[in-house]
Amino acid sequence: MNTIDWDIPNPHLFHTEVSAEHIDGLNHTNNAVYVTWCEQCAWSHSAELGLNLAAYQKLGRAMAITHAEYFYLKASNLGDQIIAATWIVGWDKKLSMDRNFQIVRATDGATLLRANMRFVCIDIDSGRPRRLPPEFIAGYGPAISATE
């Protein structure tokens, strides 16, 4: 495995492998799979911070995606070992949080995708925006990465 040049130091990592169901008609990983990997990586990070789905349900709050951008840079193929990385790169401490993602191929360290997402805290029952509860501030706050 090559050394990986992460966009930001100390990412949360999610490892996976390209399997047959990920391959599309162009014989490479379908673009929608990268979106799923970003989602899985974000959930994995949240769980590591003590904010899994059960915690969200107990609090009646969740972080929901309101905006996402994906930049597809290179293709991946069947059998490739993939590492998805995420960082919380900002928030307003009231309502929203921003995450960056970088997906690389483990064998050569090539960056396959970069993405960013904006999340807004919502009330689970109504779906309406709500202030971040203290538990979100305590869990996500220390994980914010310096981007410069």
pLDDT in tens, 84-128: 999 999 999 899 999 999 999 999 999 999 999 999 999 999 999
Domains of the chain: 12-143 (3.10.129.10)
CA distances from 48 to 14, 42, 53 (A): 11, 10, 12
pLDDT confidence bin for 137, thresholds 50/70/90: very high
The residue type of 5 is D
Structure tokens at 29: 């990983």
3-class SS of residue 17 = strand
Q: What's the rounded mean pLDDT across residues 43-49? A: 97
pLDDT at res. 2: 61
Average pLDDT, the chain: 95
Report the half-sphere exposure of 64 (CA within 13 A, side-chain side).
Answer: 15
How many whole angstroms separate alpha carbon 17 and alpha carbon 33?
11
Residue 3: predicted pLDDT: 82
Whole-model pTM: value is 0.94
Q: What is the pLDDT of residues 67-88, one digit of tens each?
A: 999 999 999 999 999 999 999 9
| Residue among 23, 9, 37, 147 nearest 77 (CA) | 23
Residue 57 backbone zone (phi > 0: left; psi -120 to 50: alpha; other: beta): alpha
